[in-house]
Chains A and B, each alone.
Chain A
């Protein structure tokens, strides 16, 4: 069969695995052009076909441009008349849809949320981590019961339901579905093994990674408790009538978490400054850092040392750092927690050195002369040391420039991976 079109995606996505497995099972081919996310999806020709800019995205030879992973997989499954991947009857097809939706919303959603929070893409919140963990366990329990009496989920052969569930579980066992939990779900594991080893699906999944202990949040030392202890008060009834509770298929939650009231920000009361942080962020993004016409040149021309200050920041517990990407994620998490001070702060902080022998260091440009009011919005701000820099001092200046140019070197440790606080992650 000729390729039906081109799939734009990245290999690590759950949806991509499902689409590829479905195509392999259906005997459908598509091309996979080289694709760089965050770059190619901003180009005009991509956006002309896929204005939302999200992946996976399927550009079909027949003129159909399709997004939403589950819709793409289902379409591919439906192309050959006898693929059987959607079952043999309308009822079977409905059951396939049921299991696909269940796998996505009751299991995969939880893995995804937990992953996003533990890696600084979403604000971390322990209560939500717990809610997601429990929701997922409820999903696993149901799936185990379903698979107790079934080899395949729908009928007696492979369908899109098996592929989707297997893919979701394949990811879960590497992250949240840890050894103690797995011991309770022999049928889920049996099903996973059966599906990923189907001859038609050879090479799609690879070997699963089985995590020993579910991924945990590592709060930087001295994280202030954000929440007071749960109060066992009954859930507040909204002002309208009671039956509204049933509107959700979520279970009733009984605990309420009181929040501290927000204080007025003294940084807004400082005298006006000629240095505009947003202009600086733009200059930094658009220009090279060093050299003539670069952003450092712009900085020295425009900086107002009365209204703003420059600080060096060092992580206090460098001996705890392990893999570079994890330390990088820690910086991302720190920046997320600094979000409330976004308009007062620019930072360029990186990981220097290598795995198990690294440090986190960088520079901040901040409003006012005192670092504390800007960074104390982050509960873990005390995990870092802050030293004001004097740009008239050659050493301080070199440090500042190295942090911005990402070529900083300290005690032989070179800059590896960094984050700028003015850049955002979003999915």
Chain B
């Protein structure tokens, strides 16, 4: 099948993974263009189409352009309704939107800030106070999520088949497993969350999109340089 469009993104970026997974489940192809940070995003070809110059950025074969990772993933999910990525009715769709937003703001955002601050060291001013603040916010939400998933017979968020919510959550939980959640947390504190992660990422259609989990053994600690 011909690709439906081009994606400027990076294979290891969580938002890019969500988009490619949504496409894979829907049986659609998207052309992931080679991307070099500092080069591609400064090229006139890119910045003329996408003035904000951030990735991911999508352009379909008719020139329709879209930015914002979750908006792109949601659009892709709308293209093949039978794939069920947005649920089967208005209520389920609302729940998919709810969980996607929750995953982004309550889990991905704090885990990412810790990731960029501690692992990548790209956040000037990041310190122990910040680390603690984000960690505590994330833990509150992880606990709530753990209890919720424990109550789900299907082990999935909205109904009993994979939705965009499960995909986006898995990308957020992957980041949490590289920062806040070491072995102890994954196995003893949040077993249902990581069982969900395994279930989603073992799906044959999207296994290679997620790649290796890259999890840490111990929750990352802030170290003064």
Please give the residue numbers on chain A whose beta carbons come within 8 Å of chain B beta carbons, in ascending order: 51-53, 62-64, 66-72, 74-75, 78-79, 90-91, 93-95, 97-98, 100-102, 105-106, 122-123, 125-128, 131, 138-139, 142, 145, 227, 230, 235-236, 238, 243-250, 252-253, 255-262, 339, 426-427
Contact = CB atoms under 8 A, between A and B. Distances in A.
Interface stretch (B21-29, B113-121, B202-210): B113-121
Contact of A71 (B97, B127, B141): B97
A105 B97 contact: no
Given A97-B70, A123-B133, A243-B12, A142 B90 contact: no
Given A71-B101, A123-B127, 13 more contacts: A63-B91, A64-B94, A90-B79, A94-B74, A94-B78, A98-B67, A101-B71, A102-B68, A125-B129, A127-B125, A243-B10, A256-B225, A257-B225
Q: Which 7 A-B pairs have the closest CB atoms?
A: A127-B125, A259-B224, A246-B37, A94-B75, A71-B97, A97-B71, A123-B129
Contacts of B100: 71
Contact of B51 (A75, A142, A245, A248): A142
A90 B124 contact: no
A178 B92 CA distance: 41
A97 B86 CA distance: 14
Contacts of A249: 13, 15, 54-56
A66 B125 contact: no
Interface string B91-108: 101110110111001000
B124 A131 contact: yes
Nearest to B224: A259
Given A90-B75, A94-B78, A131 B141 contact: no
Given A51-B147, A128-B130, A247 B66 contact: no
B224 A258 contact: yes
A261 B127 CA distance: 12
18 contacts: A52-B102, A72-B94, A72-B98, A94-B74, A101-B70, A102-B67, A122-B133, A127-B125, A128-B124, A131-B125, A138-B52, A246-B37, A249-B56, A252-B37, A257-B126, A258-B224, A259-B127, A426-B137
Contacts of B37: 243, 245-246, 252
A262 B224 contact: yes
A189 B112 CA distance: 33
Contacts of B105: 68
B160 interface: no
Interface string B63-82: 01011111110110011000
A262 B221 CA distance: 14
A153 B67 CA distance: 14
Contact of A75 (B71, B78, B94, B116): B94
Contacts of B12: 243-244, 246-247
Contacts of A258: 224-225
B94 A256 contact: no
B164 to A, nearest CB: 12
B136 interface: yes
Nearest to A116: B133
A122 B37 CA distance: 31
B97 A75 contact: yes
B64 A91 contact: yes
A67 B102 contact: yes
Contacts of A51: 144, 147-148
Contact of A128 (B54, B91, B125): B125
Contact of A255 (B95, B124, B132): B124
Nearest to A90: B78
B103 to A, nearest CB: 10
A188 to B, nearest CB: 15
B12 to A, nearest CB: 4
B168 to A, nearest CB: 12
Nearest to A129: B125
Contact of B124 (A52, A100, A243, A256): A256
Nearest to B121: A236
Given A227-B125, A249-B55, A258-B224, A68 B97 contact: yes
Contacts of B54: 249
Nearest to A248: B116
B74 A97 contact: yes
A91, A93, A261 — most chain B CB neighbours (10 Å) = A91
A125 B68 contact: no
Nearest to B50: A142
Contacts of B75: 90-91, 93-94, 97
A248 B122 contact: yes
A51, A139, A260 — most chain B CB neighbours (10 Å) = A51
A256 to B, nearest CB: 6
A125 B55 CA distance: 27
A253 B15 contact: no
B94 A246 contact: no
Contacts of A123: 127, 129-130, 133
Contact of B121 (A63, A66, A235): A235
A71, A72, A91, A125 — most chain B CB neighbours (10 Å) = A71
B38 interface: yes
B188 to A, nearest CB: 21
Contacts of A246: 10, 12-13, 35-37, 55
B68, B90, B93, B225 — most chain A CB neighbours (10 Å) = B68
B122 A252 contact: yes
